[in-house]
Amino acid sequence: HMDMYRLSERELQAFPLEEYFETGICIIEWADRLRFRWPQDTLELHLDKIKEGRRLRMVKPSSYWRRKLAAMA
């Protein structure tokens, strides 16, 4: 889990983000601040506040992730 909210532009540029992609699943808060460095097959998830609590939403999953998720169903 990484939180990019408090990092300055300089810190964001220097952060070794790609090294974490090789080790497993990365959950990144405020990931839009690093969108230009996301891998091609990123699975973008949004956690939205709703009246009843929270809702997890996928944003345009790639064909790679659609296949992976279908296999898990």
The predicted pLDDT at position 41 comes to 85
The pLDDT assigned to 8 comes to 94
CA angle 11, 12, 17 (to 5 degrees): 115
**What's the burial of 27, exposed, middle or buried (CB within 10 Å: 0-12/13-18/19+)?**
exposed
Amino acid at 52: E
Which pLDDT belongs to residue 12? 92
- pLDDT band for 10, please (50, 70, 90 cuts): very high
pTM: 0.69
Residue 33 has pLDDT above 90, yes or no: yes
Average pLDDT of the residues of the chain: 89
Q: Do β-strands 53-59 and 44-50 pair in parallel, antiparallel, or remain unpaired?
A: antiparallel
H/E run at residue 53: strand 53-59
CB 30 within 8 A of CB 4: yes
